[in-house]
Structure 1
Amino acid sequence: MDPITAATHADPYPYYARLRAKGGLVFHQGLKLWVASSARAVAAVLAHPDCHVRPPSEPVPKSIADGMAGKVFGQLMRMNEGERQRCPRSAIEPGLVLIDVDEVNALVSARLITPDADGLYNAMFRGPVCVVAALLGFSPAQGRAISELTADFVACLSPLSEQAQLKVSHAAAEQLRGYFVELLDDPDNRSALLAGIRQRFAADYDTLIANLIGLFSQTYEATAGLIGNAIVALIRTPLFLPDSTPVEALIAEVQRLDPSVQNTRRFVAAPCEIEGVHLNAGDVILVLLASANRDPLLNEDPDAFILDRPRRRSFTFGEGRHQCPGQLLALQIARATLTQILAHQPDWDCLTWHYRPSLNSRLPHFNDRSTGVIRRCETPR
């Protein structure tokens, strides 16, 4: 195991503990990058102005730079620094915070959710995007199409994607852009969320559309992992009964204990010093968010699953200028979805799961034990 393959290991957390014991920020000779594993080091890297989300020499991955997916990628606030990051964020984040939880619950409740493998797949990967699409003013039919296109688009975010997948990603980006062009031109759109974003957005039209597409892609992976890893926790812990589980507390502890986003990267743009370590321009830092969540200096008794944990702290959604603006919405959708799944009193013994191939995500895919057929394995991330 290494700090990257750990993301999809059955239990990476003892390994993360050993990394923390070696020091908060150390160089990994095999991977040729720095690894931040402690809460102090992770917080310092995420806060440092010279630690950027993309290497200055390659703001867009070369593999997608010449297509529509690359054009969208290059405009995403999560992939930029400075004003190119602040402007879209200041326009989108306020509206996400104000979304009515009852509206989210109603949109989730309107969807058909079943506790078998296919139903869980749709609840995890399709449902959350459909909810966000509805909040923006798309029809249910459009939301279903958009969720399929988002599944194709996220291939552009993965270094593991093959050329054929990237080609599909470019086509999906073109179609998603077309959906938003029509939505933004629709005089009958009554979405308060979209109206607020448009009112606050000061950048150009293409950047607005790119970041609305980015809202779908971030919803797709973050919320799927929240739901899926909560289900894994329920399967592993029989004491959490479907009719008595405090879902809000369960989701909150799962996102800390077993997060869907295990790591992220930062690229050193100028010589600097972090936690007593001198870093050079061009250095790469692997930021182990999941390891920092289990640092005993951040959370007492960090390896225990405690539903009513006091002063719970987590790096799962990032921190500082690049903290995920959709954190609250992702938690709301995950809570509502898991509540609907539990209402069916699922038989967890009928399911098994595996983690999809990934360099940074921990997303379970469920299959029906009776058939042994793995359902719809997604593009590796």
Structure 2
Amino acid sequence: MDPIIAATHANPYPYYEKLRAEGGLTFHPKLKMWVASSARAVCAVLAHADCRVRPVHEPVPNAIAQGMAGNVFGQLMRMNDGERQRCPRSAIEPSLTLIDQDEVREHVNARLITTDADGLYKAMFRGPVCVVAALLGFSPAQSRAISELTADFAACLSPLSNDLQLAAAHVAAQHLRGQFIELLADADVSSALLAGIRQRFDGDDETLIANLIGLCSQTFEATAGLIGNALVMLQHRPELSGASMEPLLNEVQRFDPSVQNTRRFVAASCEIDGVRVEAGAVIVLLLASANRDPALNDNPDHFLLDRPNRRSFSFGSGRHQCPGQALAMSIASATVRKMLDHGIELDRLNWCYRPSLNGRIPLFSFVGA
């Protein structure tokens, strides 16, 4: 096993424990990357000004640089540092915190959910994006289109995507841009979320549109993994099916997060947590390992609904902490509750993890189906 393969391993957590025992920040000679596995090291890297979200020499991946997907990617706040990150974030983050949770549940409950394998897939991947699109003011039919296009666009974010998927991502980015241009031009759109973002945003329309696309794409995989990993936990612990969804999902995101790792790129030689790291180095931050660090959480390998002082890096930390955490948790909680109410047969679930270098997202089938 290595720190990248671990994300989709059946049980990577003993391996993460071994890495923490070897030191919080260590060099992996095979991967030629630094690995931050402890809570202290992960926190230090996330807070360090010289640790950037993209390499200085490659702000947009070369594979998508010549196309619309690359244009969108280059403007995403999550893929930038400095003012290109702060400007859109200052508009989007406050608006996300003001979303009415009852409205989120209404949008989730308005969607048809079936408990077969196809229904689970749509509820995990399509449903959350549909909810975000509806909150932004799209109609139900438009929201479904946005979710389909977002699935195609999200392929540009993965190094595992092939040429056909990347070509589809460029086309999807173009269509998404067109959808948002029309939304922003429609004076009859009623969306408190969109109105709040537009009121606070102090930038050009292309940057705004790119980050609205980013809001959908960031919802796509992370929320799917959160929902899926909750179902996995409920199969292991069926007695939790009657529990309140909020504490259940709060512990799932710590215990078995959908985003297992992220990366930072060192822009200038510096010292991090007592270790000298040279400019150009790549650091893999094992967020899931840090969550299980006893220095961060007592009894970290136990799943506790009523965990006191729960701490987690699953949604990041510091200047790049995910601004949509509350929204993702609300969508996931409502979706899992609806699945349970519809009588999903947890004991018949089988799954494998979606191929990924950093995500832990189960794809379900049913035993005997």
Give the TM-score taking structure 1 as reference length. Answer: 0.96
Alignment match, 1:295 = 293
Q: Distance in 1 between matches of 2:157 and 2:226?
A: 19
Within the alignment, does 1:76 sit opposite 2:54 as a pair? Answer: no
Q: Distance in 2 between matches of 1:354 and 1:323?
A: 28
TM-superposition CA deviations, 1:156-194 (whole Å, max 9, x none): 000010011000000000000000000000010111111
Instruction: Give the letter for the 1:228 counterpart.
Output: G
Q: Distance in 2 between matches of 1:245 and 1:8?
A: 27
Q: Distance in 1 between matches of 2:79 and 2:266?
A: 14
Instruction: Give the letter for the 2:328 counterpart.
Output: A
Map 1:184-333 onto structure 2 (within 5 A): 184-240=184-240, 242=241, 244-333=242-331
Q: Distance in 2 between matches of 1:296 and 1:349?
A: 32
User: Secondary structure, in 3 states, of the residue corresponding to 1:255?
Assistant: helix
Q: Distance in 1 between matches of 2:192 and 2:258?
A: 30
Q: Distance in 1 between matches of 2:299 and 2:283?
A: 27
Instruction: Give the letter for the 1:337 counterpart.
Output: T
C-alpha deviation, 1:286, in angstroms: 0.2
Instruction: Give the letter for the 1:32 counterpart.
Output: K
Alignment match, 1:153 = 153
Q: Distance in 1 between matches of 2:248 and 2:114?
A: 20
User: Secondary structure, in 3 states, of the residue corresponding to 1:198?
Assistant: helix
Q: Distance in 2 between matches of 1:303 and 1:69?
A: 40
User: Secondary structure, in 3 states, of the residue corresponding to 2:161?
Assistant: coil
Instruction: Give the letter for the 1:113 counterpart.
Output: I
Q: Distance in 1 between matches of 2:145 and 2:365?
A: 24
Q: Distance in 2 between matches of 1:232 and 1:354?
A: 11
Q: Distance in 2 between matches of 1:279 and 1:150?
A: 37
User: Secondary structure, in 3 states, of the residue corresponding to 2:264?
Assistant: strand
User: Secondary structure, in 3 states, of the residue corresponding to 2:10?
Assistant: coil
C-alpha deviation, 1:128, in angstroms: 0.4
Within the alignment, does 1:342 sit opposite 2:329 as a pair? Answer: no
Q: Distance in 1 between matches of 2:337 and 2:347?
A: 19
Alignment match, 1:362 = 360
Alignment match, 1:32 = 32
TM-superposition CA deviations, 1:117-159 (whole Å, max 9, x none): 1111111100100000000000000000110100000000000
C-alpha deviation, 1:368, in angstroms: 2.1
TM-superposition CA deviations, 1:326-351 (whole Å, max 9, x none): 00100010111111111122211222
Alignment match, 2:171 = 171
Alignment match, 2:110 = 110
Instruction: Give the letter for the 2:222 counterpart.
Output: A
Q: Which runs of 5+ in 1 are unaligned?
A: 372-381
Q: Distance in 1 between matches of 2:114 and 2:243?
A: 18
User: Secondary structure, in 3 states, of the residue corresponding to 2:226?
Assistant: helix
Alignment match, 2:87 = 87
C-alpha deviation, 1:238, in angstroms: 2.6
C-alpha deviation, 1:113, in angstroms: 1.1
Q: Distance in 2 between matches of 1:370 and 1:178?
A: 44
Report runs of 4+ in structure 1 exceeding 4 Å deviation: none
C-alpha deviation, 1:19, in angstroms: 0.1
User: Secondary structure, in 3 states, of the residue corresponding to 1:239?
Assistant: helix
TM-superposition CA deviations, 1:246-304 (whole Å, max 9, x none): 21111000000000000000000011101110011100000000000000000000000
Give the TM-score taking structure 2 as reference length. Answer: 0.99
Q: Distance in 2 between matches of 1:109 and 1:193?
A: 19
Instruction: Give the letter for the 1:286 counterpart.
Output: V
Q: Distance in 2 between matches of 1:113 and 1:14?
A: 36
Alignment match, 1:376 = none
Q: Distance in 2 between matches of 1:134 and 1:140?
A: 7
C-alpha deviation, 1:221, in angstroms: 1.2
Q: Distance in 1 between matches of 2:196 and 2:244?
A: 33
C-alpha deviation, 1:222, in angstroms: 1.3
Instruction: Give the letter for the 1:267 counterpart.
Output: F
Alignment match, 1:61 = 61
Alignment match, 2:8 = 8
Q: Distance in 1 between matches of 2:226 and 2:283?
A: 25
Q: Which runs of 5+ in 2 are unaligned?
A: none
